[in-house]
Amino acid sequence: MATQRRAIKKLNPTTMTSNDFDSEAGTSTTSGRYGQINADDNNKLPLEIASGDDDDDDANVPRSKEGQAIYGIDFPDISVRDTVRLQLIMLKNELKINSIKCVIGGSFGGMQTMEYCVMAGATRPDMGQSRMMMGCNGGSGGTVMMNNNNRNDAPPPAVPYGLGEFTTRRNGRIEPFVRSAVPIACGARHTAWQIAISETQRQAVYADPKWNNGRIDPQDPPHAGLSVARQIGMVSYRTPLGYHQKFGRALTDESGPSYGSRAPWQVKSYLEYQGKKFLDRFDPVTYVKLTEQMDSHDVSRSRGTMEEVLSHVEIPVCVLGIDSDILYPLREQEEIATWLPNGELKIIHSDAGHDGFLLEQDQVAAHIKSFLYSHD
């Protein structure tokens, strides 16, 4: 059976196995119009998505104006953990980078930064006199260990998936691949609150008749639903005080009705503008997939308790939180800083809520510069 492979980002085919994907896929198979990824086999899988059977199927594949295949809703479910592991493989194995001074990210980038801390800023648990064999045990989600002295012995318990997997040799000793990190305005996991907000945004997209269960027409996508989804997001990124200070009860036209369905509220005009502007730079399927990926975020998943997992992170970490953030409340950054052995918390003071990490650039820059100057 003829099989094509369309590369998303083609690296060395021996770089990854199918089990290199987040073990939380369990033994399930992600399948669709373009083939499948099985998280429980040991076949080598290059960094690409396998297509369907052969060229006969190819004629039915939806394509962009440029003739490129559109994976759409059939694109496999990818976790934050998958994305970070892919980046680390590229940085270390393909670009041959020896070590990273600091990983910095806010919001979704902060979630990835937390995974960098666990995968490349931590030490592996002490498993005795053993050596690590690269790769993942799909059943347990850990790394297979083998005793050097007696290879016939049963292997010791598997190391939790990816924990301290990426290291480097500096100054004659093994050290974490990442030397420091600055996660901003995020938590160590996506909570029910954040998943709920993501779900309301996805439901707005689903409610658009043009969504068609994800089989959208690229030339006529569900823009109305995506616009509403963006507007929901814009509310969660700010605060009641911020909206009051910016808009109050002001109208765009004082001669218009002061209440009712035709009232020209400034805040309504602002949200509609943000929703419309978003359509020029985002795709509905991508939006759904990315919010689902954000909901996957949980650095403790299949690794132990959150406190146990973060206790292995040995690098210095400066956690930045915003005192008015209602989407990722400050208590979540306080928890991270408490659980990290070398963690410190810096607070950004703002009335802007979650968007404070973008708007309060002087405060953010000052904290980052001080941290970078203080650590190698």
Catalytic residue ranges:
107, 325, 354
DSSP strands (E only) in the chain? 5-7, 29-32, 35-38, 48-50, 103-106, 130-132, 142-143, 145-147, 159-160, 167-170, 173-176, 181-184, 317-322, 343-348
Cβ–Cβ contacts within 10 Å for residue 257, how many?
Answer: 11
| Strands 29-32 and 5-7, bridge-based pairing | unpaired
Counting other chains too, the contacts that 217-224 makes at CB distance below 8 Å and 24 or more residues apart are 218/62, 218/64, 218/70, 221/283, 221/284, 222/284, 223/279, 223/284
Supply 248's token pair.
């109050």
CA distance 198 to 85: 24
Say how far residue 99 (Cα) sits from the centre of its chain: 22
Burial label, 42 (beta-carbon count in 10 A; 0-12, 13-18, 19+): exposed
Q: Which residues pair with 147 in a beta bridge?
A: 130
Kind plus residue range of the DSSP H or E element containing 371: helix 361-374
